[in-house]
Amino acid sequence: MNHSALLHTPAEAGTDSGTGVAARSSAPPSLRAAASGASGPTGASDTTGASDVPGALAPRPGNGTPRPRNGARAVALALTVPGQVVSLLVLVLPLLVALYMSFTDWSPTRGSLFDAEFVGFENYGELLIYDTRFTYAVLRTLCISVVCLSLEFTFGLGLAVLFMREFRGKSLLFSAFLTPMMILPVVVGYIFWMLFQSNGPVNQVLELAFGAGAGVEWFRSASFAVLAVIITEVWHWTPLFFLILLSGLNSVPENPVRAAVILGASPRQVFWRVVMPMLKPVIIVAFVIRSMEIIKLFDEVFMLTRGGPGSSTETISLYIYKLAFNDFQLAYGAAAAFIVLIGSLVLVHLLLAPVRDQLLEGGRK
């Protein structure tokens, strides 16, 4: 329902696209500056791609006899250009539009984006200095992330270690333990929303264990609502840690372990001093992948609490969503997104540094 206003306004703005284009050509200094500023890496690969074209297209790839150099280039381009075009059109272009937008005061009720007033860093300043709701959303998301990832890691590692032992029905149990991560986030959110109802099974079990009155109104209290989000998220994604860590444990070479045992190390020492250091790259990959996803936490929270009660479970993504699609403050929301992007880029690249090659060059295991 609340999309309708939004859907119509830009469409109307689109009908006078003539003026839109005119405005575009009169507005470009800022737009172009913004564009070239953001497209650093992509822009660079783009120009090298362009300089390859003439040389590659001149001699057509030979029919039958491969002409090593030029044929290879043409084929390479033919193979990779579609992907690059799609990424540029559908990922980079919107990013640039969002970046431009974040420097304006545009909102859909005010006509074309290109008529919007340029306000410089006003949105950014407002967000960083005055917007406590944003600050809290960021801190909340970080706290939830730290707690969730620690728990997921601990449970996942524990389970993976148990799976290094022998027991019957192992492959069946392995599948069973992976189940949660195969379920779509929206459904996970919905399931736990039902489980945490005041007359739901979670409260039933609590009352059974701790007596009547031990049940909790999960979605009425801020701290219990956050706890519900954490439990849901941990249930959903512990299997990923389990899966990654188990594959890491399975590929630990036997010789160093044997040597340590022969030298008299206790099982505990073997695990912490020999096995864990060898697991480090795998652990980092798991953390990086999960941090990238949990920073964007949205679906489950949307289904569980919609950010409530009040704004006590509002994550960054949920706040941006509400800004853009409930309050129509699109420019402001875009600025918030860029702050988050820069923050998470820094964070993930710091984390990533030790395993960058493994992750980007496609694994050397």
Partner 1 sequence: MMPRKLTPLQALVMGLALIVVLFPVFWIVMTAIKPPTDWNASPAIWVPSKPTLINFQTLFNPDAIREYGVGGVSQAATDSVIGSLLASVSATAISVVIGLFSAIGISRYGNGGKSTPLVILSGRMFPPAAIAVPFVIMFSTIGLIDSYPGLIAIYAAVTLPFSTWMLKSFVEDLPREIEEAAMIDGRSRMMAHLTVTIPLIKGGLFATTMFVFILNWSEFMFALVLSYSNVSTIPVQLAKYVTATAGTLYGVQAALAVLAMVPLVIVGYRIQSHLARGMTFGAIKQ
Footprint of partner 1 on 115-154 (CB under 8 A): none
Q: Does 181 bind partner 1 (CB under 8 A)?
A: yes
C-beta of 71: minimal distance to partner 1 in Å?
6
Candidates 27-35, 121-129, 220-228, 243-251; binding stretch for partner 1 (CB under 8 A): 243-251
In the region spanning residues 263 to 292, those forming contacts with partner 1, defined by CB under 8 A, are 270, 275, 282, 285-286, 289, 292
Say how far apart CA 356 and CA 354 lie, in whole Å. 6
The answer to whether 249 and 160 have CB atoms below 8 angstroms apart is yes
Give the residue with the Cβ less far from partner 1, 78 or 350.
Answer: 78
- Provide the residue type at 32 as one letter: R
**In which residue are the tokens 């992907």 written?**
83
C-beta of 110: minimal distance to partner 1 in Å?
12
In the list 154, 247, 266, 326, the residue contacting partner 1 (rule: CB under 8 A) is 247
- The first and second tokens of residue 299, run together, are 């679906």
Give the residue with the Cβ less far from partner 1, 27 or 341.
Answer: 341
Give the residue with the Cβ less far from partner 1, 101 or 216.
Answer: 101
Q: Does 214 bind partner 1 (CB under 8 A)?
A: no
Say how far apart CA 231 and CA 278 lie, in whole Å. 30
C-beta of 226: minimal distance to partner 1 in Å?
19
Say how far apart CA 112 and CA 13 lie, in whole Å. 5
Q: Does 346 bind partner 1 (CB under 8 A)?
A: no
Say how far apart CA 264 and CA 260 lie, in whole Å. 6
Say how far apart CA 151 and CA 259 lie, in whole Å. 32
Say how far apart CA 224 and CA 143 lie, in whole Å. 15
Give the residue with the Cβ less far from partner 1, 226 or 337.
Answer: 337
- Provide the residue type at 209 as one letter: A
Candidates 23-31, 76-84, 123-131, 143-151; binding stretch for partner 1 (CB under 8 A): 76-84
Site residue total, partner 1 (CB under 8 A): 130
Kindly give, in sequence order, each residue whose CB lies less than 8 Å from that of residue 105, ignoring residues fewer than 6 positions away: 116, 117, 119, 122, 123, 331
C-beta of 19: minimal distance to partner 1 in Å?
13
